[in-house]
Structures are given as C-alpha cells and as structure tokens.
C-alpha cells in the first residue's frame, strides 16, 4: 500500500501513487457512504469511472450497488498456454485473418444463433426478467469480442511457450441488466429519500429486498455469460490453431478471471458485499491475469490474499487519458512507430484507433511494482499480435 487517506467516514487505502481528481472525488464519495465497510481500496490502475473509480474495491453492509459493478458485468480475462514454442510472422498473420473470420468484432454479431450449449446453465430464465427479454439476442452475441479495450492476443511467455489471451465481457445483455437495475435503484432511492445524493451515481438496493435479490441473480447470469463468451471465442481460436498446426495441437487448462462483479464474502470477521469494478480477485494462491496495454506485456499472477485490498489486485494497466483525449492529443505516426519497433502485429491503423494506443495507458511495469504486496508474478507474456474490437 502506498498511502492512506482518513478524511472520510472510513479510510481510503491506496496502491496508486498518482490519481486524477475525478477518481479521487469518487473514492471519497464511496468512503462517505453510510453502509461502506471498513475502508475503500484503490488499485494501481485506478482511474475515473461512472459513480465508482475503475480499479476500485468497495465492501458494503447489507446493500448492493449496481453502478459499483458497472455495465460490462463479468468482463474479464482468459488465457491458454499452447504447446508451441515459436510462430513465424507470416503464419501469425494467417491465423489472425482466420480468427477474424470466426469471431465478430466491435458491434458485429454472429449471423446465426450459437447453440444453447454455449449459454450459461443452471438458471430459470423465466425468473430473470431482463435476461429472458435479451436471451435470444444474446445467442447471436455469444463468442463475439465487442469493442473498446477488449482484445485477442497471441503472446510469447517467459516459459518459452506461445499463449492465447482473450479480454471480453457480457456484451449487450450485461449492459441491459446494469442499466435496468441502476435505474430501478435510482427510482427506489428517491422514493425512500436515500441519504446518498443522486449526483454521486451510487444508488443502492438493500439485500433484503426482492429487487436486490433479482439483481444478484441476473448479475450472476451475466458473469457466467461473459465467461461462456470467452470460452466460445477461445474454442474457435484453438480450432484455427488446430487447422494450422494439426490435430495434436494441445492446450493446458484455461485460466479465467472476472473483474466487474459483486460477491458476498467474509472479510475482517463479517459477511459483506464486495464490489470489484475493474479489480481482480487475488485470494491466496489464486491464479489471475493482469493484462498490459496494446504493445505491453501481460502477466499471469498468483494472489497473496492481502486482507487490506479485500484480497484484490488490479485488472490491467489503467488509463491515463480518456478516449477522446487520446484521439485529440496522441500522434498516429508516433504510436505506430512504437509498436512497429517492437515487431508487434497491432491494431493501430487510423486516427480513431488512438483511443487504445499504448500511450493512453499507464506503464504496466510500474503498476505491477505498486502491487507487489498483492500478487506474485508467475509468468510474463510478451505480445506478438493483437486483434482489437
């Protein structure tokens, strides 16, 4: 931990050395919530979000806050080690072309429904109002990347092996669930004359209400849908590799971890609701993934179970500038040159791609240094090629 601020109702514990004013204001709003528990934890990739900073961890007593999870419920990472040690550049380009043929990017969806076997199981869909409404559309979105900072990468590990990594979330179904329950919470909070000002964007649902229980069920469905989405993409990517390298292409078990969700956990002797918005669970011995920005290394890590971070760590490098600011201030030729010098097959092609340029993000090596008390590094993964949504 870098420092601690004690000006609010509860302290703010920070693993970040520099933080923008907007993110700090949001963290102070969290610290003054009447139901916030123990302290607020800010990870080293922390930056301003909606209501709650990205890279923030909030524990609450007896309430859940939809906006403290966010719109991309269940967004997370998966990574697979292959049995390959080298891939030449021409083969990588061919692989990328084939992957793009199989996996819709950005706002694109599959033209046909994906099988129900690729959707989450064990849920009564009829009891999930928003999920039921969105289910059919979601069958076209399973196995699709989405846009923003979502990516597919081919990487070379410090173990000498080639790795595949995917970052994606719950697509439109997650946004619909988030928006519905955040709007419902706002309406109910006004009815109840909530002590939490509407302007801070932290409307809540008490756990003992039917609305909170409904949100938890639908949120968990979206977490599972996001995982199913990554699994299907990874399956299709592996099939592309198998078509190139033969049927003996093998993989180790997939590593998967989410970074936008809320869960009931025990911390400091109490059962609380832990909201991780752009933060990753890092319980003792838990294997996790912390990706870098485009062109930067990513990491497979092992959690240390640090109680002060609510057993959490960063979910990535974290932005240093917003998307519009990046497009206004970064130079296209300079950003392309940086990636070309690293011999990375990248996705910076035009001015509109600058929102995902490396310079829009924090230095991942510094982010990792700041959380040495949260995780141990197991593997370092160097990017060879990236596909962006």
Q: Which residues participate in catalysis according to the annotation? A: 315
The single residue listed with the structure tokens 């998307």 is 323
Residues 6+ apart with CB under 8 A from 222: 73, 74, 131, 170, 173, 174, 177
Cβ(31)–Cβ(9) under 8 Å?
yes
Task: Measure the CA–CA gap between 257 and 264, rounded to whole angstroms.
Answer: 17
**Residue 153 in tokens:** 């990468």
Residue 361 carries which DSSP code?
B
Q: What one-character-per-residue DSSP string does 43-104 give?
A: EEEEE--SSS-EEEEEEESSEE-GGGT-SSTT-EEEEEEBS-S---HHHHHHHHHHHHHHS-
CA 25 to mean position of chain CA atoms = 22
The total of other beta-carbon atoms located within 10 Å of residue 235's CB is 13
Task: Measure the CA–CA gap between 369 and 313, rounded to whole angstroms.
Answer: 12
Of the CA atoms within 13 Å of residue 135, those in its CB half-sphere come to 18
Q: Torsion angle, CA of 232/236/242/243, rounded to 10 degrees? A: 160
Residue 251 carries which DSSP code?
B
- Is 216 strand, coil or helix? helix
Cβ(41)–Cβ(309) under 8 Å?
yes
- The closest alpha carbon to 57, from 39, 76, 35, belongs to 39
Please list the alpha-helical segments (H only) found in the chain.
21-31, 89-102, 129-141, 171-192, 210-245, 323-329, 332-341, 364-370
Task: Measure the CA–CA gap between 352 and 207, rounded to whole angstroms.
Answer: 42
């Amino acid at each position: 931990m870098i420092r601690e601020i004690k000006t609010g109702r509860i302290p703010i514990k920070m693993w970040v050395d520099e933080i923008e004013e907007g993110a700090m204001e949001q963290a102070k709003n969290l610290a003054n919530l009447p139901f916030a528990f123990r302290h607020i934890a800010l990870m080293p990739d922390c930056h301003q979000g909606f209501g709650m900073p990205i890279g923030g961890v909030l524990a609450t007593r007896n309430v859940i806050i939809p906006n403290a999870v966010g719109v991309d419920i269940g967004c997370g990472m998966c990574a697979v080690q292959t049995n390959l040690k080298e891939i030449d550049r021409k083969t990588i380009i061919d692989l990328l072309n084939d992957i793009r043929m199989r996996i819709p990017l950005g706002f694109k969806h599959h033209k046909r429904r994906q099988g129900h076997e690729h959707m989450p199981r064990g849920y009564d869909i009829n009891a999930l109002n928003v999920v039921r409404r969105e289910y059919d559309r979601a069958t076209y979105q399973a196995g699709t990347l989405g846009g923003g900072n979502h990516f597919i990468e081919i990487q070379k590990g410090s173990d000498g092996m080639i790795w595949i990594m995917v970052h994606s979330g719950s697509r439109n179904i997650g946004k619909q669930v988030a928006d519905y329950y955040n709007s419902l919470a706002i309406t109910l909070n006004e009815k109840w004359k909530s002590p939490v000002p509407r302007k801070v964007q932290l409307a809540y649902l008490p756990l003992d209400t039917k609305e909170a229980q409904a949100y938890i069920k639908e949120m968990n469905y979206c977490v599972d849908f996001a995982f199913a989405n990554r699994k299907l993409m990874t399956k299709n990517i592996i099939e592309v590799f198998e078509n190139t390298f033969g049927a003996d292409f093998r993989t180790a078990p997939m590593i998967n971890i989410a970074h936008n969700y809320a869960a009931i956990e025990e911390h400091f002797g109490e059962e609380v609701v832990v909201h991780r918005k752009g933060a990753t669970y890092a319980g003792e011995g838990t294997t996790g993934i912390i990706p870098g920005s485009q062109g930067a290394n990513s990491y497979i890590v092992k959690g240390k179970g640090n109680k002060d971070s609510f057993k959490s760590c960063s979910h990535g490098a974290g932005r240093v500038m917003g998307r519009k600011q990046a497009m206004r201030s970064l130079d296209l030729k300079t950003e392309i040159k940086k990636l070309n010098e690293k011999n990375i097959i990248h996705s910076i092609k035009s001015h509109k791609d600058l929102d995902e340029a490396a310079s829009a993000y924090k230095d991942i090596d510094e982010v990792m240094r700041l959380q040495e008390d949260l995780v141990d590094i197991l593997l370092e993964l160097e990017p060879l090629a990236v596909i962006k949504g």
